[in-house]
Structure 1
Amino acid sequence: MSISEATLSGQLVERQGYKIMGIPVVLFTVISAVVLGASFMDVLPQGMIGAFPIMMIMGAILNEIGNRMPIVKDYLGGGPIVVIFGSAALVTYGIVPEASKDIMVNFIKGEGFLSFYIAALITGSILGMDKKLLLKAALRYFPVILGGVVAALGLAALVGGLMGYGAKEAALYVALPIMGGGMGAGAVPLSQIFGDALAVDPGEILSKMVPALALGNAMAIVIAGLLNRIGKKMTHLSGNGKLMINQNDVKEDEASSELNLKSMGIGLLIASTFFILGIILEKFIPIHSYALMIIAVAVAKSLGVIPKQYEDCAAQWFKFVMANFTPALLVGIGVAYTDLNAVISALSVTYVVLVFFTVLGSVIGAGFVGKMTGFYPIEAAITGGLCMANMGGTGDVAVLSSCNRMELMPFAQISSRIGGAFMLILATAILKLFLS
């Protein structure tokens, strides 16, 4: 290319101006008009062929708004939090047509897009991690979870007692469900445990827990954004996505092979296979399939059973999925899992304060123990604290997006799945203690 041609090419790029998703705004507007037009005409196709474009467009627009809003972009997580709550509001107030909402909900839940995304992140991030680092971090991580749980329950009970809500009630009906690992693996089985122990309808118990769960999830997302901001100001507290303090001394390998379509296809197959392996193992081991998938990938990495070139393929697929599908997934979380009415209905001063101190306790406890065990306090607080306090797998994605630390997904999932199972055991023990 000659100098004049290069200059002309540069001028054309400049004239294209503002871009969304890397697409010139005029072209993006045309694409959006077609997809949104189909949505409001109720002719949006079923399945991923309809869900992908509308979720990507909604995600891109809301993400752009969030990343440019004063205060929100600096202190509350920016784009991700606006994508989640903005899309939830669009559905709650009937702006998005019901048929389009159903397509997105089915894609996230029925067609397993959330599982598809998490499988890519877990497999790619673990296989792309330094082996020695993985083993060191895993051994020190469970005390971090325990520190977050103890501080969260203790602080909630203390504040509940001081505010006249009741220490026991605050610990059982606010802190436990928040720290319990989400809805399906946390609040629902917790309500059954409470119902059996207290001889009351589990549905009544669940109605008390859901607002705490929803509000705690929202606060965890916001606090994650604040922690990211604090980490930028107080750099000694943050590893910028690295969990262990001595991790900076380890030269983690970048994917040695060049990015190519074949490698990403292999990575997709590896991630999907590990996800299926987790489901198979769940038939024999009473642990959530996500937790078993994490264990299986970690064992495979530790034993070196997967050749390095295929580890690189999984890492490449993880990076592709994270770069292209994260805003779309956050839309799905907002549409399918974020109940604005439940959050709004819980907004009494006492309740909000109790939820806040529960989430704050998880951050303080996990961050403090993390520092003692060789982790960066902010990363420990996010994974061992906030990823216990959020709403399971969907909350993990939202929290890690809000603080721009998606590479911590394996540890977030350990918190949500194994930590959530631990909370069910703890709840049984606490109830026996209170009822004895």
Structure 2
Amino acid sequence: MDNSEIKEETESKQVSPIKNFFSIKIGVMPLGVFLLLLIVDSLLIQKKILPTDMIGAGSIMVLFGFACEEIGKRIPILKNVGGKAIMATFLPSYLVYANLLPKQAVTSVDFFMKQTNFLYVFIACLIVGSILSMNRTVLIKALVRIFIPMAAALVMGSIVGTLVGTVLGLGAFKTYFFIVVPIMAGGVGEGALPLSMGYSSILKQGQAGIFAQVLPCVMLGSLVAIILSGVLKYIGQKYPKYSGNGSLLKAGKDDEILRIAQEGDKAKASANHDLSQLTVAGILSFALYLAGVYINSLIGLPAPIVMLIAVVMAKVLGLIPKNIEKGGYSLFRFIATAVTTPLLFGIGVSMTPWKNLVAVFSSPRYLIVITLTVVTIVLVGWFVGNLVGMYPVEAAIVTACNSGQGGTGVVSILTASDRLELMPFGQLATRIGGALTVVVGIALLRLLH
């Protein structure tokens, strides 16, 4: 090899400073792109001309969301228990409370999150995308089985939580109706709000006061569930025999299920993403959600549940063409990779009041009851799920979603555990489980009062 060849080889191995600079990433963004966005947003905020539309709010959510996620994945211990999701959701909440975020940035994000209903766009795409990309046989068997650990977790969570609160001197009545039921009610809009309205009518008390009482329990229960889902992810990594890596059903006596699921995973990994198919899957998501809105106006069933039922039925009956199913997987991967973290930041800014969360920490008894209730729900999900042929880690994560802060909590829980493919089952847990909890809670209160 002559000197010119040696020189050429040496130069080829050297990485230019610019390429090296762009190889550093904040979330999914190269550092150069991150810094450019930071500079542009800073200039807009300084001149007070940051738009409140999707571009303005989206730029803030992307910038700060991925920065918070980066912090979460670098903190020792926390990074192993869902640190990315926790920091992306709850750090923004604190920053807003402490006035450490630019006011115009907060206003832009808050307006976008509350006026555009973007959370439901996210949930619609994830539900449809994940259902379309699932194997039909696996889906049918998983839906049938998941209701068993869900129901068992609801019952045992209620019993243990109420007993603990009674032992700590809170009283069975107060513990069950004002701590345990709110935790499992399915979030704020679909849970705490109708619950407080029902309680107000029965107890002849102001609805606002009751809502303020139960809201902190909903938020802290969701936080505990997020942390536990991170712990479950860590357990699954350390002890692979307990984890399906996102698959709910294990082989057990039905090796065919496992074989089909594994073949499907291999096909997905090697699949080429077609933008036209992705687009069609996205349009289908919107159409089904809007159909859910219409059905909701007729019978009061939440739109996400209507959408979930519709897409599951279509999948089970084999009505969806293969090319749209492939587009569903592409849609799911895009939403999970690019949208989840910015959305969590938006949730933290506009839907997670820090002072309400902190209020619970001032009462150790409340903290103990909430924590043990959620731990019971997760443990029951683990053991009962295992008994009915599910991977314990995935079954426990799904049942943990029943303690989440509605749709926002499910997103955070599944993000912390890297199991967004479980979104349909998480939605079942929080929506159906939450609705049942609210109905039973109000009925029992009416009976006992």
Q: TM-score normalized by structure 1?
A: 0.94
Unaligned runs of 5+ in 2: 252-256
Displacement after TM superposition at 1:202 (Å): 2.3
Displacement after TM superposition at 1:284 (Å): 2.9
Distance in 2 separating the partners of 1:6 and 1:306: 54
Letter in 2 for 1:45: P
Distance in 1 separating the partners of 2:184 and 2:11: 57
Distance in 2 separating the partners of 1:257 and 1:404: 21
Displacement after TM superposition at 1:204 (Å): 2.4
Summarize the alignment of residues 104-119 of structure 1 with structure 2, pairs less than 5 Å apart.
104-119=109-124
Distance in 1 separating the partners of 2:413 and 2:137: 27
Distance in 1 separating the partners of 2:26 and 2:238: 29
The correspondence for 2:258, drawn from 227, 241, 248, is: 248
Distance in 1 separating the partners of 2:236 and 2:27: 27
Task: Tell me which moved more, 341-350 or 246-255.
Answer: 246-255
Aligned residue in 2 for 1:127? 132
Distance in 2 separating the partners of 1:9 and 1:16: 17
Aligned residue in 1 for 2:36? 30
The one-character-per-residue Cα deviations of 1:27-51 (angstroms, maximum 9, x if unpaired) are 4213212113323432111210101
Answer whether contact 2:27 2:69 (CA < 8 A) is retained: no
Distance in 1 separating the partners of 2:52 and 2:126: 26
The alpha-carbon distance between structure 1 residues 413 and 9, as it changes in their structure 2 partners (threshold 3 A), is: farther
Answer whether contact 2:278 2:324 (CA < 8 A) is retained: no
Aligned residue in 1 for 2:384? 369
1:234 aligns with 2:239: yes
Letter in 1 for 2:422: L
1:224 aligns with 2:229: yes
The alpha-carbon distance between structure 1 residues 133 and 62, as it changes in their structure 2 partners (threshold 3 A), is: same
Distance in 1 separating the partners of 2:332 and 2:317: 21
Q: TM-score normalized by structure 2?
A: 0.91
The alpha-carbon distance between structure 1 residues 10 and 262, as it changes in their structure 2 partners (threshold 3 A), is: farther
Distance in 2 separating the partners of 1:193 and 1:6: 74
Task: Tell me which moved more, 175-184 or 241-250.
Answer: 241-250
The one-character-per-residue Cα deviations of 1:7-62 (angstroms, maximum 9, x if unpaired) are 73872344644222444424421321211332343211121010111110101111
Aligned residue in 2 for 1:392? 406
Query: Does the residue aligned with 1:232 lie in a helix, a strand or coil?
Result: helix
Aligned residue in 2 for 1:321? 335
Unaligned runs of 5+ in 1: none
Letter in 1 for 2:383: F
Answer whether contact 1:151 1:364 (CA < 8 A) is retained: no
1:296 aligns with 2:300: no
Aligned residue in 1 for 2:254? none
Aligned residue in 1 for 2:15? 11
Aligned residue in 2 for 1:416? 430
The correspondence for 1:273, drawn from 287, 304, 316, is: 287
Query: Does the residue aligned with 1:346 lie in a helix, a strand or coil?
Result: helix
Alignment coverage as a number of residue pairs: 432
Aligned residue in 2 for 1:333? 347
The one-character-per-residue Cα deviations of 1:98-133 (angstroms, maximum 9, x if unpaired) are 232122122222112111111110001001000011
The correspondence for 1:62, drawn from 58, 62, 68, is: 68
Distance in 2 separating the partners of 1:24 and 1:184: 37
Distance in 2 separating the partners of 1:45 and 1:230: 43
Answer whether contact 2:182 2:192 (CA < 8 A) is retained: yes
Letter in 1 for 2:274: N
Distance in 1 separating the partners of 2:28 and 2:144: 41
Q: C-alpha root-mean-square deviation of aligned residues, in Å?
A: 2.1
Distance in 2 separating the partners of 1:27 and 1:287: 43
Letter in 1 for 2:264: E
The alpha-carbon distance between structure 1 residues 340 and 300, as it changes in their structure 2 partners (threshold 3 A), is: same
